[in-house]
Each structure stands twice: as structure tokens, then as C-alpha cells.
Amino acid sequence: MRWRHRFLLGLALRLALLVAAVFALVLAMGTPGLGAARIVAGLIVVAAAAWLWRYIQRTNMELACFIDAVKFADFSQGFGHRFDGSGFAELGDILGEAIKRMRDDKHKLIDTNRFYEAVLDDAPTALLTVDGEGRVELANKAARRLLIRHHGVRVEDFREYGDAFADALEGGAVKRPRLVPLMSDGVPQTMLVSAAVVHRLGGLVRVVAVQPIQGELNAIEIAAQSDLIRVLTHEIMNSMTPVTSLAHSAADLMREVDKGGDPAVSDARSAVETLARRADGVMHFVESYRQISRAPEVRRRPIEVAAWAAELEALFRAGAQAEGVAFELGLEANMPPLDADPDLLSQVLINLLRNAAEAARSHTAEPRVALSIHRTRSGRTQIEVADNGPGVPAGLRQDIFLPFFTTKAKGTGVGLSLARQVVLAHRGSISIDDAQGGGALFRILL
């Protein structure tokens, strides 16, 4: 290398000067009467030795500084010696280029780490880490929004969300993803929990992903129900249409034949007319269920919650079911606008309020209905409709949102099923619980 040749040339020059100075000193020492020459020669020897020592030590110092810079990750060092000659400029350039390359690599690594930290923190899936000592960390924003009920960092502290979830954190979900029930904002949700083991700082760490899939499961269920209802209503209507037509034709004929003189003919006429009415009833029943097979079209827009709640109260009080029923409205102050379809949600809530009033009136002398709207700790909007009626038995709570299911003598089983469809179309959830002091409480999370 060029700098090596120049270094060797400089070294040879300094060695030659030192040897010449030593030779002159020896010569002066052996010649009488050259006292001053001896002193000068001695000084030259000392200077030449110091020059040579500094020249050799300079390379060692440059390399030592470079090694220290690498050791302590101090990449701000410079090694430029443009005017020193003797190869130090080339050596400084090489060391400086190495430092610059490492500095650039460090900056790239820092930028990459920041990027992946941002991706991790903003990932929509909740991520947790569990170290070898069982310490649990919420690794991103989604996890901190989802898991807000517990206190502590041990796996046992997470049993607040259910034993199945805690078991998954302990390692049960490694390589075996699990469907785990978990309470989120007071509503049971189904979560897909999966885990993997990674190396970090010489140890093993479990990374646990918690992904809410209740919305997807609900959408699949609704789609399956809609397909089934569509097929059933189509087949029933195809079969009932000629029956209904023939029944009405037969009833018209029997009315012409029946003159009132033959009891048997009168009975036959009554039977045919009953058959025609029941055929009409079946057709109406089937037609009413065809609407369940059509997914509601959501037209979102910002809703001013206070004005909307006042409108709901006015609509409720205008109905016959509200007569004699006390109404309570609970509204959190300074609620931000709600992004939803006001028409669809209004229909859902009016139906819930009227059902609540009907249940309360049939159960107590002082019927009461309450509507409350507020924000949860995770930032979602929670709407609750409560009454002081008999409530819904625990064994029926999974069935009341199913199509065709009703506990009313004159019910059709359409209302709550449609309410669930509307809420799910908003990517929300609806559930039922016990109201404080008795009665039913319907909770909608958006």
C-alpha cells in the first residue's frame, strides 16, 4: 500500500539520522578538544531519538484511538492528517473512512430500530412479551387499549381476563393458537391467541399475539343465517303461492255454493276460509323474515350525541308504550361526535326502549327505563338501555338475538335479530346483562 511505503521511507530517514548522530557523537568523543562538538552531537542524538520515538508512537496512538472509538462506539473521532506527510494522511483517511462507515451503519441501525418500534407500537394486533421469569409486558398500543382492567406484571395478574387467557400466556398458545374468551369493555369477546419463542439479550422470550375475531365470527354467523333464511323463504314462498291462490279460489267458490241451508256446506266453507286466512298469514310471516336476509346498508356520518339522545327521548315519549313509564337519560359531558348511521341506530334504540318499557310495565307498578351514552376507557362509545322488568333468564341470553326466536306471545323474533345485524354492520357488538337493581340491560359498543 502507498501509505505503508511512505511510512517505511520516513522510518528509514529517521533511523539514518539517528545513526549518523550517534556516529558523530562517537567520533567527537574520541577526538580531543571537541567539547562543544560533543555537546551538539549529543543534542542531535537526543533529538533524533525523540523524533523517531514520536514517529513510531504516533502510529500506535492513532490505532489506539481508533480501537477506543470502536470499543466505546464513539464514531465522532477524526483521523485526518493532510499535511503531516510520511503516509499519515493515507492512514488517517483509511481510519477515518472506517469510522464513517461504522457511523453510517449505526445511524441506519438506529433508523431501522425506530421504524420497527413504530410498526410494533402501531400494529393493530395486541402484542405481549413474557420473559423467563414470567414478567409480562404490554408491547404496543393495541395491547394497552385492550388489557386495561388488571394491575401487575405477573401472568397470575392476567387471570382477571379469564383462566384460559392466563394459561395461554403461560405458554399454552406456543405453536398451538387458541380461541380464548376475554372480557373487553364489559363485553365477552373471542380472541385468537398465538405465541412464539424468540431470543432476546441471551434469553428466551415468548411473544404473544392477541387478535379479536368476534366481529369476524359474528359476520360469518350472520351470513350463514341470512343464506339459510333466504333459501327457506324462497322455497316456502314458491310452495305457498299456489296453495294461497287455490285456497282463495276455493273460498270464493264455497261462498257461491253456501246458501245457508246445508250445515255441511257451511262447515266446509268455514274450513276453506280458515285455510285461506292461514295461508295469507304464512305468506306474511315469510315475507317479514325476508328482510333479515338483506344486510343493512350503513351510511355513516358524524352524529352530535347530545342532540341525538334528546331526539331519541322525544321519539320514545311519543309512543304508546311510554305511557306511565319513567325515563332516565344519562349522557357523558362533552361527548365527541359518533361516526355512525343515525337512522339505523335510532331504529335499534327505539325498539330496545319500547321493548324495555313493555317489559317493565308488565312487571312492576313503577316501570322505569334508562338510556345512557358514554365513552369507555378504551375510547369506544357505549350505549346502554336498562329497565326494571323481569330481566332475561341466563339460559336464554344466547338465543334472543337469533332469527325466529321470541319469548312474546305475539312476537315475530325479528327485532333483536335485526338490531344485532345493524350493530355488527357498524363493526360493534351488542350483549345483554342484568341491570342494576333487576331487569335487563342491553349494552351496545361502537
pLDDT (tens digit per residue) in 339-354: 988 888 888 888 889 8
User: 3-state class of 198 per DSSP?
Assistant: strand
Q: Is 332 domain-assigned?
A: yes
Same domain, 14 and 64: yes
Query: Helices (H) and strands (E) in the chain — how many of each?
Result: 10, 12
Q: What is residue 38's predicted lDDT score, i.e. its pLDDT?
A: 72
Q: What is residue 245's predicted lDDT score, i.e. its pLDDT?
A: 82
Q: Which of 140, 101, 134, 144 is nearest to 121 (CA)?
A: 140
Q: Is 118 domain-assigned?
A: no
pLDDT in tens, 308-320: 888 888 888 877 7
Q: What is residue 257's predicted lDDT score, i.e. its pLDDT?
A: 76
- Checking if the pLDDT of 363 tops 60, the result is yes
Q: Is 370 domain-assigned?
A: yes
Same domain, 389 and 316: yes
Give the domain CATH number at 404.
3.30.565.10
Query: What integer is the mean pLDDT of 148-170?
Result: 81
Query: What integer is the mean pLDDT of 57-65?
Result: 66
Q: Is 422 domain-assigned?
A: yes
Confidence of residue 134 (pLDDT cuts 50, 70, 90): confident
Same domain, 246 and 263: yes
- What is the secondary structure of 360-373 as a DSSP string? HHTT-SS-EEEEEE
User: Pseudo-torsion of CA 330, 181, 120, 428, nearest 10°?
Assistant: -40
pLDDT in tens, 228-238: 666 666 667 77
- Checking if the pLDDT of 425 tops 70, the result is yes
Q: What is residue 283's predicted lDDT score, i.e. its pLDDT?
A: 75
Q: Are 24 and 44 in contact (CB under 8 A)?
A: yes
pLDDT in tens, 373-393: 998 877 888 899 998 888 888
Gap between the Cα atoms of 193 and 172, Å rounded: 9
- Checking if the pLDDT of 128 tops 80, the result is yes
Same domain, 261 and 319: no
Q: Is 104 domain-assigned?
A: yes
Q: Are 381 and 302 in contact (CB under 8 A)?
A: no
Q: Burial, 131: exposed, middle or buried (Cβ in 10 Å; 0-12, 13-18, 19+)?
A: middle
Q: What is residue 85's predicted lDDT score, i.e. its pLDDT?
A: 46
pLDDT in tens, 285-301: 666 666 656 666 788 88
Q: In which domain, by residue range, is 395 found?
A: 301-445
DSSP letter at 169 equals: I
Q: What is the mean pLDDT of the chain?
A: 77
Confidence of residue 62 (pLDDT cuts 50, 70, 90): low
Phi, psi of 204 (to 5 degrees): -100, 135
Last residue of a domain, one of 113, 148, 169: 113
Query: What integer is the mean pLDDT of 133-148?
Result: 84
Q: What is residue 83's predicted lDDT score, i.e. its pLDDT?
A: 41
Q: Is 187 domain-assigned?
A: yes
Confidence of residue 74 (pLDDT cuts 50, 70, 90): low
Same domain, 203 and 230: no
Q: What is residue 82's predicted lDDT score, i.e. its pLDDT?
A: 43
Gap between the Cα atoms of 144 and 211, Å rounded: 13
Q: What is residue 90's predicted lDDT score, i.e. its pLDDT?
A: 58
Same domain, 311 and 386: yes
- Checking if the pLDDT of 3 tops 60, the result is no
> What are the b/e assignments for 387-407, b being 16+ CB within 10 Å?
bbbebbeeeeeeebbebeebe
Question: Which residue type occupies 182?
Answer: L
Same domain, 323 and 397: yes
Phi, psi of 104 (to 5 degrees): -65, -40
Q: What is residue 143's predicted lDDT score, i.e. its pLDDT?
A: 84
- Cα–Cα distances in angstroms (integers) from residue 226 to residues 221, 293, 337, 425, in the given order: 9, 4, 32, 14
Give the predicted TM-score (pTM) of the model.
0.54
Same domain, 130 and 243: no
- Checking if the pLDDT of 430 tops 80, the result is yes
- Checking if the pLDDT of 247 tops 50, the result is yes
**How many distinct structural domains can be found in the chain?**
4
Taking the alpha carbons of 277, 281, 283, 284 in that order, is the dihedral positive or negative? positive
Q: What is residue 169's predicted lDDT score, i.e. its pLDDT?
A: 82
Last residue of a domain, one of 75, 91, 113: 113
Q: What is residue 92's predicted lDDT score, i.e. its pLDDT?
A: 60
User: 3-state class of 279 per DSSP?
Assistant: helix
Same domain, 342 and 436: yes
Same domain, 131 and 223: no
- Checking if the pLDDT of 78 tops 80, the result is no
Same domain, 97 and 132: no
Same domain, 175 and 268: no
Query: What integer is the mean pLDDT of 217-230?
Result: 69
Phi, psi of 60 (to 5 degrees): -60, -40
Last residue of a domain, one of 293, 314, 336: 293
Question: Which residue type occupies 249?
Answer: S
Q: What element of type H or E holds 356?
A: helix 342-361
Q: What is residue 57's predicted lDDT score, i.e. its pLDDT?
A: 67
